Amino acid sequence: AQSVTQLGSHVSVSEGALVLLRCNYSSSVPPYLFWYVQYPNQGLQLLLKYTTGATLVKGINGFEAEFKKSETSFHLTKPSAHMSDAAEYFCAVSVSAGNMLTFGGGTRLMVKP
Amino acid sequence: DAGVIQSPRHEVTEMGQEVTLRCKPISGHDYLFWYRQTMMRGLELLIYFNNNVPIDDSGMPEDRFSAKMPNASFSTLKIQPSEPRDSAVYFCASSLRGTSEQYFGPGTRLTVT
């Protein structure tokens, strides 16, 4: 069975600062990895995904994540935070196409002016 | 495409009443997922369907919950009788065979008093 751990349920950064949201996973087979964002009172929206190929994945809104197999990590970064990035972010893992996603507990990102 | 459509967006009901939540997946998607989100338990997978057939319902909390998918464009999640602890946001998501990315609806916020 797979699992996902997001370190830090709340992260606060200043506007313009680096955003780093941490995600570690466990999986017995090569995983598919995802980051989703949830704005208040909305559903989850896909930010980016890793399935195969290049380990550095770029997503929407300037976010990117790097798959590091040796560290079983898939951390999400953005060089410069914007106020509009304030939201909850979820990391998720799947073991095959079409299969269920296992979500982490989420990290709430706060951006200070 | 209109995306995943859920109705109603908000539901307030009294304990003991029957509640029916509805979902229309993205046209052509053959996987459909029902999730529940609460502050205490985070995002939980309740059940998912493939080609209208329930594949895994191990997340359904108890017999008061039931889900159906009578055709490829419609699914329902029913709670009977409802209890205050069922208060949560319920999300429906769909995905396409051969991919793992799920597309979420806006959710139904259920309040049971």
HSE-up of residue B79 (Cα within 13 Å, Cβ side)? 27
- CB–CB of A98 and B91 under 8 A? no
Distance CA B34, CA B94 (A): 9
Question: What percent of chain A is modeled with pLDDT above 90?
Answer: 77
- Structure confidence at residue B55 (pLDDT): 93
What does the pLDDT read at residue B85?
Answer: 95
* A113 has a pLDDT exceeding 70: yes
pLDDT for residue A104: 93
List residues in chain A touching B: CB distance below 8 A.
Answer: 32, 34, 36, 42-46, 49, 51, 90, 94, 96-101, 103, 105-106
Phi, psi (degrees; rounded to nearest 5) at A74: -150, 65
Residue B17: helix, strand or coil by DSSP?
Answer: coil
Mutation target for A interface from B43, B57, B60: give the one with most A CBs within 10 A.
B43
Cβ-proximal residues to B11 (8 Å cutoff; 6+ apart), any chain:
B19, B21, B108, B109, B110, B111
Chain A residue nearest residue B30, CA to CA: A98
Contacts of B99 in chain A (CB under 8 A): 97-98
Using the beta-carbon criterion (under 8 Å), do B100 and A101 form an inter-chain contact? yes
Residues of B with a Cβ under 8 Å from any A Cβ are 4, 31, 33, 42-43, 45, 48, 50, 56, 91, 93, 95, 97-107
The mean-pLDDT minimum among A17-26, A97-106, B33-42, B102-111 falls in A97-106
pLDDT in tens, A13-60: 999 999 999 999 998 788 899 999 999 888 999 999 998 888 999 999
**Is B101 a residue whose pLDDT tops 90?**
no
